[in-house]
Amino acid sequence: MTIAASRRRVLALGLAAPLMLLCRRAGATPEAMAAAIEAFTGGGTPAETGITLDIPLLVENGNSVPITVSVESAMTEEDHVEEIAVFNEANPLPDVVRVRLTPRSGLGRFQTRIRLAGSQTIIAVARMSDGSLRRAAVSVIVTAPACRES
């Protein structure tokens, strides 16, 4: 009986080990993301309007996910988007990308491709030239996460 039980345990451990490896690599947490956002906003409260985060809601390949962040702005010297930061909560690090725009940009928008290590919420935060903040959050489902491919 004890032998059977321990055999079962050994088998279970063997099955769980690769899972634990995967989990260990997932370093960022919702708390780490919140801390990174806090550092970016300096404690300010972002508005939930005037910004769009465009990302597929169902991601088949987490290795390359197209995202577009658009911020409504005239992009004049007095009123423009200064910085946009994108954060995630399941990759090893909470930061994804930070871009700085200028009135010369003409449009408060950029596009890139990112990695996602699992289903999670992606948050884009924009800081305007007057210091105001805007935020957009999107929850995405990832069927083939980036970190499983080695």
Which residue ranges make up the site for another protein (CB under 8 A)? 25, 27, 63-65, 68, 75, 88, 91-93, 95-107, 109-116, 147, 150
* Alpha-carbon gap, residue 48 to 113, rounded angstroms: 23
Q: Which is nearer to another protein, 96 or 140 (CB)?
A: 96
Bridge partner residues of 141 (DSSP): 58
- Tell the smallest beta-carbon distance from residue 10 to another protein (Å): 22
Give the closest residue to 114 by CA, choosing from 91, 138, 83, 139: 91
For the CB of residue 129, give the shortest distance to another protein in the complex, in Å.
15
Residue closer to another protein by CB (options 56, 103) is: 103
Distances (CA, A) of 27 to 24, 31, 40, 122, 125: 7, 11, 19, 15, 21
Structure-block tokens of residue 59: 């991601």
Closest approach, Cβ 3 to another protein, in A, equals 32
Closest approach, Cβ 63 to another protein, in A, equals 6
Q: Which residue, 6 or 111, has its beta carbon nearer to another protein?
A: 111
In the bound state with another protein, the residue whose beta carbon lies nearer, of 65 and 140, is: 65
6 vs 68, which CB is nearer to another protein?
Answer: 68
40 vs 82: CA distance, rounded Å: 12
State the minimum distance, in angstroms, from the CB of residue 66 to another protein: 8
In terms of C-beta density within 10 A (0-12 exposed, 13-18 middle, 19 or more buried), how is residue 110 classed? middle
